[in-house]
Amino acid sequence: MTEPSSLPVKRSCPFDPPDEYRALRGISPLAFDASPGPATGWLVTKLSDVRAVLADARFSHRNDLVALAVPPPFPMDTYEPEPAAPGAFPKMDGADHARYRKLIAKYFTVRRTRELVPAAERIAGELLDAMASRGTEAELVTAYAEPLATRLMCELVGVPEVDREELLHHLNVVARMRYSLEELVAAITVVGGTLERLVDAAFDDPGDDMLGELARTGELDRPELVNLAWALVGGGFDTTTNMLALGTFALLEHRDQLERLQQGPALWPNAVEELLRYLTVSHLGASRAALEDVEVGDQAIRAGETVVVALPAANRDPERFPDPDRLDIGRVTQGHVAFGHGVHQCIGQHLARFTMQVGFEALFTRFPALRLAVPQEQVPLRDDMLHYGVHALPVTWS
């Protein structure tokens, strides 16, 4: 067996997965940062194997079983993860995961999220009006991508406008791969306190938003709803924002594909799927722990070992996607795993798709001559964050 390597992170192109993935296609030994000392597991990069792992109940997503694929965010003597708190369903399995997911699934169906399209169009229009009123230049992350994704999610969940900016600031701290213990405590205190206050209000006087409706069901206590809200708001703030900004960056650097969209706007739904495949902002993949001995491909995985499925590598698998390193908005994209796969597949995927479709189309319709305001190499990349993207995207138009 070859020596275990660490999770690949170095990129030579802002839109491509880490370079080492090009040489990997299968299952490779991987070194983890575990307690009390180093541990080894497996890195899975082939799409068929990734989908098999994510669909297999013998692999667990439980927080207390999965080893860290990246170093701890701050120095610590030991890393001893605890079981997920009640309501934090993404890090649960089985009946616990299914119970919480079932309670919120109705808010994220295709039909329910399609009903939010007018709200997305309204918010996008307001943001684009504000951009135009300030001249012919903007920083797109803070002026458009971030507020579009966060306002829509906050309106759905029930986060008042007065709380959004501070909540976003501290959630962005938790989204880093590195932070101090003091920063973490401050962020958790503010986010937790804000969500507790909103949940208390939802129980005391439930409104028509998601928090109010869930409080009225009587199936959740207050701590459960706080943790569930944290999972939803945290995920909704970060991922869609990054796809909107990074996707815009990619289209501006692939003008032939952007011109196809401007000539045939009916291609936008498929273009969103191709951008999801091509960019895959969940750049650290998804981790699972084997509950028993399992064979994946030709590799035996022992019970207790952690497996990292490399979503960016899987989405560039040439066996499924011919010429996978080419952005092609007309390609067949079925089977990509940008939102994961199996029972833990992202519950907000339909909302993310509609938000991106509205966001991209509104942006490039309003500013058809949009372009970068700085050279490509000066765009700061989020390779230091849990989700990949850009920290800022200076753009201009005429």
Q: What is the DSSP string of 278-310?
A: HH-S-TT-EEEEESS-EEETTEEE-TT-EEEE-
Which residue type sits at 144? Answer: Y
Question: What pLDDT shows up at residue 235?
Answer: 79
Question: What pLDDT shows up at residue 3?
Answer: 65
Angle between helices 161-174 and 181-204 (to 10 degrees): 150
Question: What pLDDT shows up at residue 179?
Answer: 84
Element holding 139 (H helix, E strand): strand 137-139
Task: Determine the Cα–Cα distance for residues 45 and 30; give it in Å rounded to an integer.
Answer: 12
Q: Please, which residues have CB within 8 angstroms of residue 337's CB and are 6 or more apart in sequence?
A: 47, 50, 51, 54, 309, 311, 314, 315
Please return the burial class of 375, using the count of CB atoms within 10 Å of its CB with bins 0-12, 13-18 and 19+: exposed
| pTM of this structure | 0.95
Task: Determine the Cα–Cα distance for residues 11 and 310; give it in Å rounded to an integer.
Answer: 15
Q: Which CATH superfamily is domain 19-396 in?
A: Cytochrome P450 (1.10.630.10)
Selection from 59, 39, 40, 38 nearest residue 49 by Cα: 59
Q: Which two tokens stand for residue 348?
A: 């907000």
Question: What pLDDT shows up at residue 370?
Answer: 98
Question: What pLDDT shows up at residue 178?
Answer: 84
Question: What pLDDT shows up at residue 2?
Answer: 63
Task: Determine the Cα–Cα distance for residues 342 and 51; give it in Å rounded to an integer.
Answer: 8
Q: Which of the residues in the chain have pLDDT under 50?
A: 36
Give how far Cα 346 sits from Cα of 108, 232, 338, Å.
10, 10, 9
Question: What pLDDT shows up at residue 344?
Answer: 96
Task: Determine the Cα–Cα distance for residues 62 and 343; give it in Å rounded to an integer.
Answer: 13
Q: What are phi and psi of 52, to 5 degrees?
A: -65, -45
Question: What pLDDT shows up at residue 33?
Answer: 62
pLDDT tens-digit readout, 103-153 = 999 999 999 999 999 999 999 999 999 999 999 999 999 999 999 999 999
